[in-house]
Amino acid sequence: MKKRVIFKFGIASVKKRGEDFFYIIDKSGKKIINKNLPVAPLIQENTIIWRENKSFGIMDFKGNIIVPVGKYVDYSGYDDYGLCCVAKEKDPNTWLYGFIDTKGNEVIPCTYKQGGTSSFRGGLARMKMTNGKTGFIDTKGKIAIPGIHSTAEYFSEGFYPASFGKNRTLWGLVDSTNKTIIQGKYDDLRSPYKGAVRVELKGKHGYLKTDGTVLIPIEYDDWSFEFSRDGLAVFVKNDIYYAYQINGELIHKFNAGERVINVVPEYQTIIFRDNASGRTKMMNFEGKIIFENEKVCHIGTINSNRAMIRYCD
């Protein structure tokens, strides 16, 4: 069976059977860049990033080199601001990080000593400051939020999660003035999404609002889907699944033995299975059943308003 070729921005990387390299083709199958790549590249808008000899290079869709192999040793890929975090090797034990633009210009010098790449979100990127604490810089490289916490996560909607304890413990929420909004006591706390903050405390999961009040009770044993990625949140308690809207409304409590297996935000659809019968059904984000058939045991990925199904044996 032939492997399906996935095109991004009209091009794709492919490797012929028996060959040890990848090359770039357009949708007609024509090789458009006269360069063989040792590994599958990262294709982004107008750029191709590939690994080679413990380094990487960047070129445009015509094969023009933007960043030559060997100049940098680490990269993040380009973010929504057209900036890519890169690292230069100062010595075998020290990498210094900064940012380049889509033309390869080092717009924020590689001076930051930290444990890995970053990227801009909400106009800011987290970086390790000279005091060893994690702060945030803007797209011009200016310090926007001084570092006062040893560890912080991505800035979002005017806030960022920070660790108040040792070894990435006791997480809380801090605003852009470094004021603590949510007390640093949580085992896990994620960056806000539309005002919702997913948290874990003593093995229980739920959501807070950015002012610290409860959006979804912190009482669930686990979570399966979250607002930022899936459009709604699905939690599990005592093997029962619960689906919530982002306003905190419980849209459906599933029956015992029913299991949510997929959430498709593009089509506002929940796919779930009755483990006892093996039947699979579809529900919309309002909790209404939109497809059920006693003969269907599997519903596949939804694409172009269609989904493949498999009938029960």
What span, in angstroms and rounded, lies between the C-alpha atoms of 178 and 56? 36
- pLDDT at residue 56, as a whole number: 95
By the 8 A CB rule, do 176 and 145 touch? yes
By the 8 A CB rule, do 113 and 106 touch? no
What span, in angstroms and rounded, lies between the C-alpha atoms of 262 and 249? 20
- pLDDT at residue 76, as a whole number: 94
Q: For residue 189, what are the contacts with CB-CB under 8 A and spacing of at least 6?
A: 161, 171, 172, 173, 182, 197, 198, 199, 200
* pLDDT tens by residue, the chain, 313 residues: 456 788 999 999 999 888 999 999 999 999 999 899 999 999 998 999 999 988 999 999 999 999 999 999 999 999 999 999 999 999 989 999 999 999 999 999 999 999 899 999 999 999 999 999 999 999 999 999 999 999 999 999 999 999 999 999 999 999 999 999 999 999 999 999 999 999 999 999 999 999 999 999 999 999 999 999 999 999 999 999 999 999 999 999 999 999 999 999 999 999 999 998 999 999 999 999 999 998 898 998 888 888 888 998 7
- pLDDT at residue 2, as a whole number: 54
What span, in angstroms and rounded, lies between the C-alpha atoms of 207 and 223? 11
Give the DSSP letter string of 179-195.
-EEEEEEESEEPPPBTT
What span, in angstroms and rounded, lies between the C-alpha atoms of 259 and 275? 7
Q: Is 91 helix (H, G, I), strand (E, B) or coil?
A: strand
